Amino acid sequence: MDPSSITSLLTAPGDAVLAEACAAFRPGGELKLVEQLRRRYDAAVVTAAVTQASLRHRAAAKFGAEDAARMYFTPDGLEQATRTTVGVHRAARIAGTIPGATVVDLGCGIGGDLISAARAGLRVTGVERDPATAAAAQANLAALGLPGEVLVGDAEAQDVTQYEAVFADPARRADGKRVFDHNAYSPPWSFITDLLAGTACVKVAPGIPHDAVPDGVEAEWVSDAGEVKEAALWSGKLYAGTSRRATLLPGGATVTTAPEVDSGPVGQYIYEPDGAVVRAGLVTAVAAAVDGWLLDPRIAYVTGSSLVATPLAAAYEVIEEVRYREKALRAWVRSNGIGTLEIKKRGVDFDPAQLRKKLAPKGSASATLIVTRIGRDAVAYSCRRVSTQAS
pLDDT in tens, 113-136: 999 999 999 999 999 999 999 999
Domain presence at residue 83: yes
Domain presence at residue 261: no
Domain presence at residue 69: no
- Assign 360 to helix, strand or coil: coil
Q: Do 308 and 235 have their domain in common?
A: no
Asked if the model's pLDDT at residue 175 lies above 80, the reply is no
Domain presence at residue 144: yes
Is 356 in contact with 341 (CB distance < 8 Å)?
A: yes
At which of 219, 249, 279 does a domain end? 249
Q: Do 89 and 230 have their domain in common?
A: yes
**Considering Cα of 374, then 369, then 221, then 128, what sign does the dihedral take?**
positive
Summarize the confidence of residues 324-347 as an average pLDDT.
96
Summarize the confidence of residues 10-27 as an average pLDDT.
96
Q: What percent of the chain has pLDDT over 70?
A: 97
Q: Do 89 and 175 have their domain in common?
A: yes
C-alpha to C-alpha distance for 162 and 156, rounded to whole angstroms: 14
C-alpha to C-alpha distance for 200 and 192, rounded to whole angstroms: 9
**Nearest Cα residue to 103 out of 83, 118, 86:** 118
Domain presence at residue 347: yes
Q: Do 58 and 84 have their domain in common?
A: no
The mean pLDDT of the chain is 94
pLDDT computed for residue 183 by the predictor: 83
Q: Do 285 and 148 have their domain in common?
A: no
Asked if the model's pLDDT at residue 361 lies above 60, the reply is yes
pLDDT computed for residue 38 by the predictor: 96
Summarize the confidence of residues 292-298 as an average pLDDT.
96
Segment 304-319, tens digit of pLDDT: 999 999 999 999 999 9
pLDDT computed for residue 333 by the predictor: 96
Q: Do 244 and 301 have their domain in common?
A: no
Using omega within 30 degrees of 0 as the cis cutoff, is the peptide bond preceding 250 cis?
A: yes
What is the residue range of 38's domain? 4-64
Asked if the model's pLDDT at residue 390 lies above 70, the reply is no
Q: Do 279 and 379 have their domain in common?
A: yes
Q: Do 152 and 209 have their domain in common?
A: yes
**Number of domains within the chain:** 3
**Lowest-confidence pick of 76-80, 201-205, 367-371:** 76-80
C-alpha to C-alpha distance for 283 and 258, rounded to whole angstroms: 7
Domain presence at residue 308: yes
Domain presence at residue 206: yes
pLDDT computed for residue 391 by the predictor: 45
**Is the model more confident about 380 or about 2?**
380
pLDDT computed for residue 181 by the predictor: 76
pLDDT computed for residue 2 by the predictor: 77
Q: With cut-offs at 50, 70 and 90, classify the pLDDT of residue 176.
A: low
According to DSSP, residue 182 is labeled: G
Q: Do 102 and 146 have their domain in common?
A: yes
C-alpha to C-alpha distance for 219 and 280, rounded to whole angstroms: 8
Q: Do 57 and 108 have their domain in common?
A: no
**Is the model more confident about 327 or about 172?**
327
CATH code, 170: 3.40.50.150
Q: Do 87 and 47 have their domain in common?
A: no
Q: Do 58 and 173 have their domain in common?
A: no
Summarize the confidence of residues 73-79 as an average pLDDT.
92
Domain presence at residue 259: no
At which of 249, 277, 295 does a domain end? 249
Asked if the model's pLDDT at residue 375 lies above 50, the reply is yes
Asked if the model's pLDDT at residue 84 lies above 90, the reply is yes
